Amino acid sequence: MMVPEVSLRNGKDRPGEPGSWPSSRPLRGPFLPVSPLPSMTGDLRYYDLRRHWTKRIVPHLKDEALNAILVRDFNKFTWGRWRKRFKLGDLPAHFESCDWSLDHHPPHPRYWGYVKHAACHWLVNFSLRLATLAEPVRPWRIITSDRHSTVWDGKRTLFDFNFLALGISPTACFEMANERELAPGKALKVHYARHYSSDQ
């Protein structure tokens, strides 16, 4: 059964944790026709962030454009939710408000620093840029819905920090996000998240 990201793995949210898509304003394209689920869904996989972290990911983490995207988008999440600024050098995990990781014993994978439960829409442009830097030959693109946003290479691989960490299957990830497909390399326009007081 498909469920909104906010409820995955029965995470216990503290006050101020958002639900799914934060705005009543429509998503803006350009959008491509919805892609069919790859015929052999068992072949869908996540890009192995843990395995490739040192050689293919770390060299790009200081990329100026990558960090500008992260600060621009994730600040819309933190400022919208809690009136807190997200600054250069901060990590999304510093703003975690869900206990999803408590049943995992340290040491934790280093990529978890870029995981924030229920904030996939504000991390997807960062993931798109990072995937393009790490694997530039692949035609990475965003697929998105109200429930989830992720990065896909158009074939078998998803580049997704949140769902990889949360233990959500690649097939479920694809099915939740695959309502709108952007052109390869095209960023998703994101808005400020709703303030937590509007959840009451």
Whether the predicted pLDDT of 111 surpasses 80: yes
In a domain, 54, yes or no: yes
In a domain, 7, yes or no: no
Residue in the structure block whose two tokens are 């509007």:
198
Count of domains for the chain? 1
Mean pLDDT of 45-67: 98
E strand or H helix that includes residue 78: helix 64-82
* Rounded-to-integer distance, Cα 142 and Cα 69, Å: 15
Note down the domain range covering 163.
41-97+105-199
Q: Shortest CA distance to 166 belongs to which of 69, 96, 62, 74?
A: 96
In a domain, 14, yes or no: no
In a domain, 173, yes or no: yes
Torsion from C-alpha of 120, 124, 126, 129, nearest 10 degrees: 160
In a domain, 16, yes or no: no
Whether the predicted pLDDT of 149 surpasses 90: yes
Enumerate the β-bridge partners of residue 151. Answer: 142, 159
